[in-house]
A and B are shown apart, each in its own frame.
Chain A
Amino acid sequence: MIEEKITEYPTVYDAIVIGTGISGGWAAKELCENGLKTLVLDRGRMVKHIEDYPTMHKDPWDLKHRGEKNPEDVKNQKKQNRSYILGPNSKHWFVNDLKHPYNETKPFDWIRGYHVGGRSLMWARQSYRLSDIDFKANKKDGHGIDWPIRYKDISPWYDKVEEFIGVSGENLGLPQLPDGKLSEPMELNCVEIELKDKIKENFDDRLLTIGRAAHKTGNAMHEGRSNCQFRDRCVRGCPFGGYFSSNSSTLPAAERTGNMHLRHNSIAYEIVYDDKKGLASGVRIIDAETKEKLFFKAAIIFGCASTIGTASILMQSKSDRFPNGLGNDSGELGHNIMDHVSKSGASAEVDGFEDFYYKGRRPNGFYIPRFRNLNDKTTQKKFLRGYGYQGSASRLNWKRNIGELNYGEDLKDELMTPGPWRIGMGGFGECLPYHDNKISLNYNKLDDWGLPTVDFHVTFRENELKMKEDMEKQAIAMLKAAGFKNVVGFNGISTPGIAIHEMGAARMGHSPKTSVLNKHNQIHAVPNVYITDGSCMTSSACQNPSLTYMAITARAANHAATEFKKNKNL
């Protein structure tokens, strides 16, 4: 075999962070603020806050096709377009499927972007804490393995993250949804308030609140950021820094320390294991543009390349000690992949609020926290775990009744005024961890850089489908109880991945025999490698997971920094 040429970079860094998304940004910030010289890698292009948001100010008439998708562009992003998020204003944040293929033995929607900031730019910003109901769930019903942490371990890190990123919302004192360091909540509109009141009157097990969203509101200072301006153009990148992204917040904070070296176009493909030391020695990358191979050395390595990205790097990192991938003594690496089930809920028309409208385009909706299987009183026979609802009410605009046989002055005048109110909600449900929901590497189909592509073998099962039925049923029940008319339920196919909450694949656990990571997110047998993105999740809970990734990352990074300083002083 001809030895490939890999250039060894002379500097030995204190730490390397692979990835710059929600998790990588936090790892970079915490490590740099702790004084560690940190190399931060991203496989994609550079995206600078404000400068590189090309669509941030575009009105519909600034777009050639007024917001409609051009079939020419869709051609290169067929899989990415399975998500509603893609459009002319956001398509540049998503990969070209022809250049970045993956394989589906079972349908899987892998929606992602390769650029500095990752999905922290396009995320939906919903931010909910997990509770001990979630951290104890696996242990209680025997699915998967027990989390090695409890709420008290992560609670101070949730505090830290919420205070830094800014999360607006309302504290409710619920056991299933712990209170947080929240800033001034956004407002419900009058129809949503009506639903909230009617739920309170008719149900004693559930309630409606405004969504907790990572938007800056109130009076707290956040360097370089302004309050949310209610433009609802978040997905394009926000020139005000109104919502949290790595680009507007964590990466600038890391940069300010002078300790960060950010290298984009750097495709990490292997974490190198040093058998003598029993530690990882560094990271091998391919320069995405020159295709040059480089080796960077460091004392600590953070895997934050996203669930599938990180898992596939670990699986490619083979050695005599780890023939099946770095840290894979348990055989669980690449397994136990979860997403949230969605696409079930209900919608309705609402009469009686014609005299009311709203101002500002609220980038957020209402939230109905989980109310199933919380305690003996709420135990369900048909399924385990639970779900929460997200939804909103609004008045129809000029798009209403476009296919009817009317025209002329009256139609024009009518369409200039707000139409009838509509309300809708959909559930996000917990997925159980199944060992055989997995990915594998496909060495027969290599990408442009000669790296293996990923095969997905993930399905939702009986428990998820039963839960979806309940999501539809209960949504209908609430909208009917509110007295809304033409209530229509829906229970569509929820393909794994489409909630864009993929997680698992390198789970945390107590034992190296059944898990990849320990309670500090270190690989059990390789303690200088920390994995803190979605891949570390032991169960999925039903809350939007990004806030938890951030808290877990901040916790692990501070653990790593403390250990590093200890070792240095020995």
Chain B
Amino acid sequence: MDRRTALKNLSMSLGFTVAAPAIFNILSSCTAETNSWSPLFLSSNEKYMVTHLADIILPTTNTPGALDVNAPQFIDLMYHDIETKENQDLFKKGALTFAEKFKSQFNAEIIKGKKEQFENLLASYFKISDEASKTILLEQKLPFENLSVSQTENYLLYKFLLSVKAYTIFGYFTSEKVGEEVLNYDPIPGAQIGCLPIKKVPNERIWAL
């Protein structure tokens, strides 16, 4: 049976005509929020930091960026609803550490920080030698209570930055805009091809689902 017949069966079962893939958008909503959103979890300083960092982590280019899909709002929601109390505390402490580093680096409050300054500071932490990065990532796997006092600051800082990065990516790639317009969206494939030359896939991009 082909996809057309299957869709016909589905529409019969639902009692109205299916204009694929329109039906599958019925439930979804697109709310492009502006800058004026009120956080559930983040303080205003944290919201400012997270917004700048998300923008740098996945910038707008010829494809949408993190801010085009409200990644900061998503981070706020996930920290509010999903994350454990322990991780919430670590996040707050890490954000504070980052803000202090920012202040000592640029002699300015973070809430006044410019994009360039955020870029410079993030680069100083992420664009480092392979060896240094290995040490840092290993340290991230240790339980917090096992860390020495000298390790704690770095640990919190990277915990914060890596968490912002992870949720930015998560929120970005599971957003409606990216899922439907940037990646290859195929809610009802209808058929399966086990081995397909990548050249036959639009833009050679991943499937959204």
Residues of A within 8 A of B (CB): 50, 57-62, 64-71, 186-190, 192-193, 219, 224-227, 229-231, 239-240, 354-362, 395, 397-398, 402-409, 411-413, 415-418
Q: Is B142 on the interface with A (CB-CB < 8 A)?
A: no
- Interface size, chain B (Cβ < 8 Å): 70
What DSSP secondary structure best describes chain A's contact surface? loop
For B23, list chain A residues within 8 Å (CB).
57
Q: Is B27 on the interface with A (CB-CB < 8 A)?
A: yes
For A186, list chain B residues within 8 Å (CB).
192, 194
Contact A231 B196 (CB under 8 A): no
Contact B28 A62 (CB under 8 A): yes
- Pick from A192, A226, A361: contact of B209, CB below 8 A: A361
For B171, list chain A residues within 8 Å (CB).
66
Contact B57 A70 (CB under 8 A): no
User: Please, how many angstroms separate the alpha-carbon atoms of A118 and B179 in the complex?
Assistant: 33
User: Please, how many angstroms separate the alpha-carbon atoms of A432 and B99 in the complex?
Assistant: 61
For B206, list chain A residues within 8 Å (CB).
395, 397-398, 416-418
- Pick from A356, A409, A415: contact of B195, CB below 8 A: A356
For A50, list chain B residues within 8 Å (CB).
13-14
Contact B198 A354 (CB under 8 A): yes
User: Please, how many angstroms separate the alpha-carbon atoms of A67 and B175 in the complex?
Assistant: 12
Q: Is B149 on the interface with A (CB-CB < 8 A)?
A: no
Contact A402 B56 (CB under 8 A): no
For A230, list chain B residues within 8 Å (CB).
189-192
Contact B196 A405 (CB under 8 A): no
Q: A65-B81, A67-B174 are in contact. Are A187 and B195 (CB under 8 A)?
A: yes
Nearest-CB residue, chain A, relative to B137 = A403
Residues of B within 8 A of A (CB): 1, 3, 5-6, 9-10, 13-14, 23-24, 26-28, 56-59, 61, 63, 65, 74, 77-78, 81-82, 84, 122, 125-128, 133, 136-137, 140, 162, 165-166, 169-176, 179, 182-183, 186-199, 201, 203-207, 209
Contact A405 B197 (CB under 8 A): no
For A406, list chain B residues within 8 Å (CB).
126
For A418, list chain B residues within 8 Å (CB).
198, 204, 206
- Pick from A226, A355, A405: contact of B125, CB below 8 A: A405
User: Please, how many angstroms separate the alpha-carbon atoms of A266 and B128 in the complex?
Assistant: 65
User: Please, how many angstroms separate the alpha-carbon atoms of A57 and B28 in the complex?
Assistant: 10
Contact B126 A407 (CB under 8 A): yes
For A193, list chain B residues within 8 Å (CB).
194-195
User: Please, how many angstroms separate the alpha-carbon atoms of A67 and B173 in the complex?
Assistant: 12
User: Please, how many angstroms separate the alpha-carbon atoms of A180 and B203 in the complex?
Assistant: 41
**Could you list some 12 contacts between A and B, CB below 8 A?**
A61-B176, A70-B82, A188-B194, A192-B194, A230-B189, A356-B197, A397-B207, A404-B133, A407-B58, A407-B122, A413-B63, A417-B204
With both chains docked as a complex, state the minimum distance between the C-beta of A405 and any C-beta of chain B, in angstroms: 4
